[in-house]
Each structure stands twice: as C-alpha cells, then as structure tokens.
Structure 1
C-alpha cells in the first residue's frame, strides 16, 4: 500500500499515528477544528493536544472530510467510542471500494456494547476492518522513544501491508489475527488503569499497584477469552504491554482520572476538566454488564464502576477488595466453574 492515508481525528493519538504514517506514505489528517488544521499545515504542530512537539513535515491536514477520505487507500479512525459510529457514517459514503478501515479507539459502544471493528463491519461492511493497538503513549513516540504496537486484522495479507504503512525505525509494528482479543485488551486495560490510579491517589505503594495490575490482568484474560479472544493475546503487547503503560504512566488519562478519584473527587468533576476522553470511565459499566452475562468474576472492574457511579469512595472500594476471600493463584478453570455454579445455586434458592 503506497498511496494516501487519511486519519480521522486530530486528537493526540490520531495526530501521532498520522505523523508516523507520513514517514512512509502521503498522509492527511482530518481535523474538525480549522485552527488545528492550520497549525499542522503551517507550523507542523498540534498546539491544542501536543504543544511543543514537532510533526513530520510532509503531513497535511484538512477540515474537508470528503476530500480527505475520497483520495485515501487507507482510512484510520481516531475518534472516541461515543462518536465512532456517527463519524464513520459520515465517512462511509466517501470511501473508495475495499479501502481498509483501521480503528485507534480503545472502548466499547454504549448500548450495543460492540467493539469498534464490529461497528466498522456494520457501517462499512465491504471494507477490511482492523485495529492498531498496544502500549503507545503519544508524547513518548513524538519525543523519539522506541515503541511497539499491534496491527490486528483477520486478513493477514492486509495486516502485513498495513504494518509497513505505520512502522518506522523506532516504531515497530507486529501483526495479530486475534482482533477480538486485541480490541478487548485495549478496552479492558483502561478500567484497570483507573484502579491503578485510585490506589496511587490513596497513597498506596508499589506493592499495591503491582497487585492491582497483576490481578487486573487476570480479570482481562477471563473476560477476554470468554468473549472469544485468545489467552496469549492478553499476555502480549495488546494486553499486558498496554496495561503496564497505561497503569504506570503520568501521561495516561485513565490513570489520571483514577488518581483524582482516589483523592476523593467525583468522576463527573474530573472528566469535565479534561480536553480528551478517558475511555475507561465510560467503559466500566459496560464491562461489568458483559462480565455478568458471561459468568466472569471481575471484582476490580466492579469496584471501579461503583466508584465512578458514586456508590462507594475509592477507599471503601479498596477495603472491599482487600476483604475478599483469598483463593489459590492461579485458580483452575474447573475450580472456578464449580465456585460460580455454587454461587448461582445459592442465588437461585434465595430468589424463590
């Protein structure tokens, strides 16, 4: 794929991916804000989201969606999950035949609970759908630090072609045909990052953070595999790798929100101050619903959701988690099924 790439969304990550692609192919960044578009074209910067960071000199920006998409051989969607479907519906009429559509969004659609590639398959069914995901902090990449990512797509031929579009000397791109696992890894880790931020806000130490990350990874794997992802995906870049970066970095929006919750602030207040979206805030409730449907225990995610909803404080949620009965680690699948079955029978008797 040697032709034009269009990235839809001028936020920090969309801009960074456009910057990466511009190293290899002609790339245009669609921005809603004319000031952002002008800054990219005239000064090679995005002062709103990436102030002080230089972008590739060949990157161009536009506010004309039709022009950006109609000339593209690859379209990249870098918009929040809440706006993903509506934005793609605007994009779809202008797509050339069989153009791949790649999602950068790490979330689930509220209401439908669909992954972004599932939305692509609904809105633009004739186009290969994939996701670029992994431990990718925009400012570190623009600074010139080495990073890795995963191009998740069912069609390996298309994935390998896209791999070459985004890879640079310092940005290594792997491929993975487990699209479900890769998308869920990127989505579920945001909720665990909220928990990691909460314990930081409460003043806990590295031992506590390590416990949250490790047990959070176990939660991600349980739900992810129950929903059709592969276990090895959750121990790779799209799972553990992304989880570590998001839980530990001060650049992480989800970790920041969690830290503020740990300090006693309300989610609505914190989110209202932010210029970008912390997907985990909006995903936590959906994750808890999915866990219930699939019979998967996710105590950390459940407590995070309760704090977001104002049902508990972060300190209370922490005490609830510490008060849970300790079980063998790792717990066998048979033992887990047996325990869940006993719980189900107990609830059934209680509701008679």
Structure 2
C-alpha cells in the first residue's frame, strides 16, 4: 500500500514509522525543512521523538505532491483545529474516492463539526471514504513497540479492513467498527475529562475523586455521543472508556498536564505557551460547551472545565460545585 501521512508531530511520525515497518510505502509530510532534513540524514525526529531511530523505508518531504503521488490512502494527524486547512492543502493532490484516515481528536470550534463532518464538508468534490483512528495511545509507547490496541471506524467495511490490516502488527492491534460518530466523539470528549482529572489530582483529591470523574465523564461522553448519532456501546470500548482511562491517569497525557498545572495556580496562556504539542482538550472544551447548549445535553464536567479555562474560575471551587449539585439517581 502507498500511504501518505500528513503531520510530522509525534503521532504522525510514529504512525508513518509503523506503516513503513509493516512493509508499506509510507511517505510523511512535514512542514519544516529542518525536520525533513534531519529525518533524511539521521533517521530521527528529535523535536518530538528524541533518540528513536525511524524505519529506513520511511520517506519524508515538505512537498504535498511528492507525498501524494500514487497514494490512495491519506492519514491525517494534524491538530483538529487545523484539519480543514490540511485537507484544503492536499485536495488538489487527492485521487477520486480516496480513503481518508483521521487520527486527530477534537471538534472544530468555528463550525462545531466533528472530524468526519469537516472531511465531508472540505472534500465533497473527491467523495472521500472516511475512517477514524482512535483509542488509548501514547506515541512514546507505540514508537517503542509496546503493546497497543486501537479502534478503526469506517462505514465502508472493505476500506476499513484494508486499513486495519495495514496498521496491525505484533505490537499494534486495530479493531474495526462502523460507528464513526461514536469513535470520533469518544476521542474528543475524553480530553475534557482528562483536564478535570488533572485538576483533581493537582489539588490532591486522590483516587476516589479521579475514579468518579472518569465514570461520570463516561456518562457525559455517552450522552453527547447518543445525541449526535453515536452508539452507546461504542463508548464502552477502546475509543471511549479505554482512551478515557489512559488520558485521565497517564503522566504522558498533555490534557491531564494542563489540569495539573491549572491546579497549581498557573494561567492557561502561560501553560500553552510552554507546551511543545497541542492539548486538544482546551479548544474541544469550548466547542463541546457550545454543542451541549445547542443540543440540550447535560454536561456538568464540561461546564466546570469551561469555567476554569475561560472564566478564570478557581479550580477547587469547580470541584466543590460538581460535588454539591442537586442529588439524583445514577
């Protein structure tokens, strides 16, 4: 398979390396000339994955035409708020009816569209077959060939099977699903809950509070997902509960780190300015807050995270307000 991977961050580089190791003709598109030169000369992307040698067969370029030449599969890994511009950059290089695989987790802020909706809107002229890749994944662990399982959602079962087989290896296992909406929303909303979990941990509230946030966060994720056409059982799987647990508990979680630092008194803009990579949950919180109002979905964790991020609410007060809401049945 010839496959173009768009985005030279930690996840894009890792997935391109995985595909190359699996014997596919993987080509990685990066923005920076310096990153391209480094990968070509040293087989390393030291900015995002220092010390990790990349597969010899992995090609890299800053030229969309070179990366796209002959490919029918395109894997996009750029941050969700830039996914539309990435589609627009590549649209003239796409064949008719390409397979578009999205590994970006979020909701577009301006339009409140999910990643599949953005793809359909931006690439309607080429009739893409869309697949969503999500699940509990830290690039740091995958690049080290640690066991990982993910969900690959695609309504076109044949295309989904092709991508599943291309990605799967002795250390990377992909399960298929046809519930694109459920899988993409699980990957987006879990980042909001991870910020809340980071705040709770940063305040020293312990394991009980973290477990409660994860569990109630799963309910919140499921409510929004069902309202938007997702299947409830999807949120019990890797792209829902699995990703939620990892992101809320793992020290490599950028969104959890945002919460930890907010709890320690740092301001959001200062936190973001110091981060190498994007914490998707920050913008997703803003988008989900608007969606919950538009659809009439109860999302108390999202409401409190939004207040902390955008209204300068005291994190400890946000947790207290969650705990003192009116009592109800589970």
**TM-score when normalising by structure 2:** 0.97
Query: CA deviation digits over 1:236-280, x for unaligned, max 9?
Result: 001000101111111111111111111111111101111211011
Paired residues for 1:259-338 under 5 Å: 259-329=260-330
Distance 2:173 2:80 in 1: 25
Matched, 1:44 2:66: no
Q: CA shift at 1:116, angstroms?
A: 1.4
Determine the structure 2 residue equivalent to 1:79: 78
Q: What's the counterpart of residue 231 of structure 1? A: 232
Q: CA deviation at 1:121?
A: 1.1
The CA deviation at 1:54 is 2.3
| Structure 2 gap ranges (5+) | none
What does residue 143 of structure 1 align with?
Answer: 144
| Higher mean displacement: 122-131 or 165-174 | 122-131
Does the 8 Å CA contact 1:107/1:116 hold for their aligned counterparts?
A: yes
Residues 122-156 of structure 1: CA deviation (Å, up to 9, x unaligned): 22221111111110110011122100011111111
Query: 1:152 & 1:41 partners in 2: Cα distance?
Result: 33
Q: Encode CA deviations 1:34-78: one digit per residue, 9 max, x unaligned.
A: 121122222221100111122222111111111101331211111
Structure 1 counterpart SS, 2:44: coil
Is residue 197–residue 254 contact of structure 1 (8 Å, CA) maintained in 2? yes
Which SS does the other structure have where 1:143 is aligned?
A: coil
Other structure's SS at 1:175 match: strand
Give 1 or 2 for the bigger CA radius of gyration.
1
How far apart, CA to CA, are the structure 2 residues paired with 1:32 and 1:6? 14
Cross-structure match for 1:240:
241
State how far apart, in whole Å, the 1-side matches of 2:38 and 2:4 are: 17
Separation in 2, partners of 1:302, 1:17: 34
Distance 1:136 1:306 in 2: 28
Q: Per the alignment, in what secondary structure is the counterpart of residue 131 of structure 2?
A: strand
Q: Which residue of 2 aligns with 1:29?
A: 28
Of residues 10, 22, 47, the one that matches 2:8 is 10
Q: Distance in 2 between matches of 1:13 and 1:68?
A: 17
Q: Which runs of 5+ in 1 are unaligned?
A: 330-352
Deviation at 1:108, TM superposition (A): 0.8
TM-score in terms of structure 1 length: 0.91
Superposed, 1:89-168 pairs within 5 Å as 89-125=88-124, 126-168=127-169
Q: Which residue of 2 aligns with 1:192?
A: 193
Partner of 2:60: 61
1:40/1:59 contact within 8 Å kept: no
String of CA shifts for 1:171-214, please: whole Å, max 9, x gaps.
00011100000000000000000000111111121111111111
Query: Aligned partners of 1:176 and 1:40: how far apart in 2?
Result: 34
Query: For residues 152 and 54 of structure 1, what CA distance do their matches in structure 2 show?
Result: 30
Q: Which runs of 4+ in 1 moved over 6 A?
A: none
- Root-mean-square deviation over aligned CA pairs: 1.1
> CA separation in 2, counterparts of 1:208 and 1:312?
19
Query: Which residue number corresponds to residue 340 of structure 1?
Result: none
Would you say how many aligned residue pairs link Structure 1 and Structure 2?
327
